[in-house]
Structure 1
Amino acid sequence: MSTITTINPATEEEIQTYNRMSEAEAIDRVEACHTAFVEWRTLSHAERAPYLNKIAQELRDNADELAALMTQETGKLIKDGKREVEICAAIFEYTAKNGPDALADEERTHGAKQKRGVVSYQPIGVIYSIQPWNFPLYQPVRVLAANLMAGNGCVLKHASICTGSGLRLRELCIAAGLPEDLFQVVLIDHDISDKLIAHPKVRGVTLTGSDSAGRHIGAVAAKALKKTVLELGSNDAYLVLEDADIDTAVKYSVMGRLYNNGETCVSAKRFIVTEKVYDAFVDAFVAKMKDISLGDPTDENSQLGPLSSQDQFDTVKSQVDESVAKGASVLCGGTAPDRTGAYYPATVLADLKPGMPAYDDEIFGPVASIIRAKDDEDAMRLANESRYGLGGGIFSKNEERALELARDHFDTGMIRINSFGAADPNMPFGGVKDSGYGREHGGFGMKEFVNTKAIFLP
């Protein structure tokens, strides 16, 4: 039987080893989840809500332990881990509060005589959730909370490097009173995962991951006629327009590029800067990036921790090296320190063009790509050239014009104006183009995996 060994990316020390499950064991978990779902679906939305509130409290009660575990497994800053626990608790509470109304039956009419109709949002069964390592708690929670409220069960396949975090989340859900089999965690390889997607008791599949992973999972699920929600990678553009406030733009650009060690799908990655403010922005931005302290993620004073693994370090390094080999300029960083751990410095690249990883692709680490635009119109064009469309940002003193650009022209799912942030329970989360489809949060996620049932009364 193969095993999974988790490794601390800051120290390179082994944390724990786990046995992978056989296909039969994984199927048992799916079938147990379905059995629990059959009972869970009989509860009303209002009856499900207290379970979610109790899970939120359990997370808060164990916040320090959870943050420490996530830091151990992925190298995220301890303070970012604590914020992650709080957003997860807030998601459960938001779902508990808003779910009963969002999922309530709707009265409609039908036919020429306006007879009574009812639209009902009914649960469908087991939802298979395939999640990445960058937010070990938040990624599974945003699927779990919505689907528990909808009445579904959930089976999680978490990234192997944060296996401990996935298992601990399940333990805390059970401690909060959730039926033991309703939320399962499977430790399996990709081949068995594909077989679970095809299992008749799995009724929906959701993935957060790369666009290549999305293509694979989407194809496997489509072959089995399973609905999917795919939240994939991105190369988010933040536009620094001609009338931008430079201090504001620099502040949120540094924050947006380095949040969670730069390993965030919806972080700022490409900075498209208009000619008029190019020198002022780049000089100030590079100065701030040079001052970032790289250090132990358990130290509250560290501003940047290691990447999540040696594999991730190698990927980021190769993307930067290839971009430089093709003509990119390094304005700061670009060379890893000689120390134990998967540490990579805050890096800024300029003189970028199509064909370079730093221009075309997602760099999942603390590497900023500076792209020069002639003017505001050119900046918007360059932003939309990307194959991705998850998030983005606009810096401008004219908020109404920025709103118009964001609403009518920016081809992404989420746009920040003069700010940066990752997610909010009250706002939809998701993208377009190669960044996937479907929405989570804001009430939208609760209706992704339900049977929207039309009932016609005479």
Structure 2
Amino acid sequence: MAQTQSPSRPIASVNPATGQTLKTFAPLDDAEIEQKLALASRAFACHRHTPLAERARRLQAAADVLTTGRERYARLMSAEMGKTLASALAEVDKCALVCRFYAEHGAGFLADVPVVTDATRSFVRYQPLGPVLAVMPWNFPFWQVFRFAAPALMAGNVGLLKHASNVPQCALAIEAIFLEAGFAPGCFQTLLVGAERTADLIADVRVVAVTLTGSEPAGRSVASQAGNHLKKCVLELGGSDPFVVLESADIQKAAQTAVTARLINNGQSCIAAKRFIVAEAVADTFEKLLVERFAALKVGDPLDPATDVGPLATPTILKTLDTQVHDSVSRGARVLIGGKALPGPGNFYAPTILADIPPDSPAYGEELFGPVAALFRVPGLDAAIRLANDTAFGLGASAWSTDPAEIDRLAEEIEAGSVFINGMVKSDPRLPFGGTKLSGYGRELSREGMLEFVNIKTVWEL
């Protein structure tokens, strides 16, 4: 491990609804990081030989730990990053689901694949690589980690988590879950370090690969560092997902889903719908329904079951969003509802809808990470597809139509890692997840995600 002076600033857990500092942690120093890397290397030497059935049993046990402690883990997420309690509980459940999915299907995904050649026997074998570094964001503090960790551990790799610095308690809780489930010490470790340590971790010879979920600048940095050391990386970056509504769509259902799709996780999701592209023939009806539903939302304490929208995770995120909205309005965008930060303690922003958005404004081309919807009107299908693709991002897309010909074109021509027809974009352990263009490369989840971090070995025997 390269020697770098540890920062003196502590890693803090701050409640975004109140601004109260909940707990602080001293970042790991050089010696502590070295101990953890050495432990990861030793753990991999054993874990890679653990029978698949035993790996599966431990993942099932991790799912049981999550289910038993779901209320506690959900409250921790709500307190540390501000998601509503209902969404936090759903996140815990989804983490248990992904553990069970790979426990049940992992052995099949990793089974040798025979290939007919001129040899007596030839096949493809899938073998683990070693310690994989996961650089994870704060917005889904459990799910983002478990969707990496479950397939990685099932494949025989070990994990090193560099989590976002504002969710240290979640990061430590996840390590404790895997230990309680029976994974040996070192199979999954949390590294409480700042972002400035990432480059040294990637450079360390014991780290064999890296996965990152985060911003485009973070992706560029990690990809550059991984490439410099010839290490595999998977990047899931930002998104400016379109939500296309055509004349034949079920407008009531589309509008109802649009609210959830935009405001999931208080609007702080890469795959949240952000640009609502609506055919002119139904635009007035859709706009009216969307404004009515936004107006009915309750903003407040994320632990209150009646709350629909909680705070943004940090004051910086709030300031950035507010600047993007004001800049867009100054260039000609029209505020249909909201458009401002809310007074009082905490990082609260009013649910907002912008219309008449000019191409040179932030709301047109940038990712808005918060409860702000950008509404566009288009003549029809051709214009909708052009506008949907008029973005540097390509993570997900939701499209609404009942016309089979329109559906075929939407699925074929929208440039994104996933296209959901008549439903909101979501991640599912059964389906590969990832993006194209500046939304990154590589895949998570499904068999494809598991095979990102294995050695795909050809065996040929005469």
Asked whether 1:43 is paired with 2:47, we answer: no
Verify the 8 A CA contact 1:393 1:418 in the aligned structure 2. Answer: yes
Give the alignment of 1:419-458 within 5 angstroms. Answer: 419-458=423-462
Instruction: Give the distance between the partners of 2:190 and 2:121, measured in 1 at CA.
Output: 43
SS of equivalent to 2:210 = strand
Matched position secondary structure for 2:218: helix
Give distance in 1, aligned partners of 2:405 and 2:396.
Answer: 18
> Equivalent of 1:297, from 275, 296, 302?
302
Q: Does 1:395 align with 2:396?
A: no
Alpha-carbon contact 2:397-2:425 (below 8 Å) kept: no
Q: CA deviation at 1:46?
A: 2.2
8 Å Cα contact 2:85/2:305 also seen in 1:
yes
Aligned to 1:170: 175
For each residue in 1:423-451, what CA deviation from the matched residue of structure 2 results, as whole angstroms up to 9, or x when unmatched? 11111111100000111112221100100
Please give the alpha-carbon distance, in whole angstroms, between the structure 2 residues aligned to 1:381 and 1:329: 22
What do the CA deviations read for 1:363-382 (whole angstroms, capped 9, x no partner)?
Answer: 11000001121211100111
Aligned positions of 1:154-233 closer than 5 A? 154-233=159-238
Separation in 2, partners of 1:421, 1:227: 27
Question: Could you tell me how far apart the structure 2 residues matched to 1:334 and 1:353 are?
Answer: 16
Aligned partner of residue 418 in structure 2, secondary structure: coil
Partner of 1:66: 73
Determine the C-alpha separation between the residues in 1 that align with 2:245 and 2:81: 32
Please give the secondary structure, in 2, of the residue aligned with 1:448: helix
- The equivalent residue for 1:31 is 38
Of 420-429 and 119-128, deviating more is 420-429
Kindly state the Cα deviation for residue 114 of structure 1 after the two structures are TM-superposed: 4.8
The Cα shift of 1:414 comes to 1.1
In structure 2, the partner of 1:103 is 110
Alpha-carbon displacement from aligned partner over 1:51-79 (angstroms, at most 9, x marks no partner): 00000000111100000000000010001
Separation in 2, partners of 1:177, 1:230:
29
Question: Residue 327 of structure 1: CA displacement?
Answer: 1.0
Kindly indicate whether residue 249 of structure 2 is the aligned counterpart of residue 253 of structure 1: no
**Matching of residue 282 in structure 1 with residue 287 in structure 2:** yes
Alpha-carbon distance change, 114 to 159 in structure 1, aligned in 2, over 3 angstroms: same
- Residue range with higher mean Cα deviation, 20-29 or 257-266: 20-29
Please tell me whether the aligned partners of residues 119 and 460 of structure 2 are also in contact (alpha carbons under 8 angstroms). no
2:421 is the counterpart of 1:417: yes
Q: In structure 2, what is the Cα distance between the partners aligned to 1:451 and 1:306?
A: 42
Give the 4+ runs in structure 1 shifted more than 4 A.
none
Tell which deviates more after alignment, 120-129 or 410-419: 410-419
SS of the residue 2:115 aligns to: strand
Structure 1 residue 248 displacement after superposition: 1.1
Does residue 272 of structure 2 align to residue 263 of structure 1? Answer: no
Letter in 2 for 1:133: W
Alpha-carbon distance between aligned partners in 2 of 1:169 and 1:150, rounded to the nearest angstrom: 19
* C-alpha distance after superposition, 1:132-181 (max 9, x if no partner): 00001001111100100110000000001111001011112111111111
Paired residues of 1:127 and 1:154 also in contact (CA < 8 A): yes
Q: CA deviation at 1:360?
A: 0.3
- In the TM superposition, what whole-angstrom CA distance separates every residue of 1:61-110 from its partner, at most 9, and x where no partner exists? 11000000000000100010000000000000000000000111111133
Letter in 1 for 2:31: A
AA of the residue aligned to 2:221: H
Q: CA deviation at 1:421?
A: 4.4
Aligned residues: 455
Q: Output the aligned Cα RMSD.
A: 1.1
What does 1:129-168 align with in structure 2 at a 5 Å threshold? 129-168=134-173
SS at match of 1:443: helix
2:389 aligned partner: 384
Higher mean C-alpha displacement, 363-372 vs 407-416: 407-416
Which amino acid in the other structure matches residue 457 of structure 1?
Answer: E
SS in 2 for 1:269: strand
- Seen in structure 2, the aligned counterparts of structure 1 residues 46 and 403 have a Cα distance that, compared at 3 Å, is farther
The aligned residue for residue 404 of structure 1 is 408
SS at match of 1:109: coil
Counterpart for residue 5 of structure 1: 12
Task: Give the C-alpha shift of residue 321 in structure 1.
Answer: 1.0
User: Aligned AA for 2:69?
Assistant: N
Residue ranges of structure 1 left out of the alignment (5+ in a row):
none
- For 1:124, the equivalent position in structure 2 comes to 129
Contact 1:351 1:371 in 2 (8 A): yes
Would you say the 8 A contact 1:95–1:443 is kept in 2? no
Out of 92, 97, 107, the position equivalent to 1:90 is 97
1:184-231 per-residue CA deviation (whole Å, 9 max, x = no partner) reads: 111112232101101111111000001111011100110010110000
Helix, strand or coil at the partner of 1:133: coil
The residue aligned with 2:5 is: none
Which residue identity lines up with residue 56 of structure 1 in the other structure? Answer: A
Any conservation in 2 of the 1:231–1:436 contact (CA below 8 Å)? yes
Equivalent-residue separation in structure 2 for 1:102 and 1:385 (angstroms): 37
Whether the 8 Å CA contact 1:34–1:182 is kept in 2: the answer is no
1:402 Cα deviation from its structure 2 partner = 4.8
- For residue 160 of structure 1, give the secondary structure of its aligned residue in structure 2: coil
TM-score by length of 2: 0.97
In the alignment, is the contact (CA less than 8 A) between 1:272 and 1:371 conserved in 2?
yes
The whole-number CA distance in structure 2 between the counterparts of 1:175 and 1:17 is 24
- In the aligned structure 1, how far is the partner of 2:139 from the partner of 2:149? 17
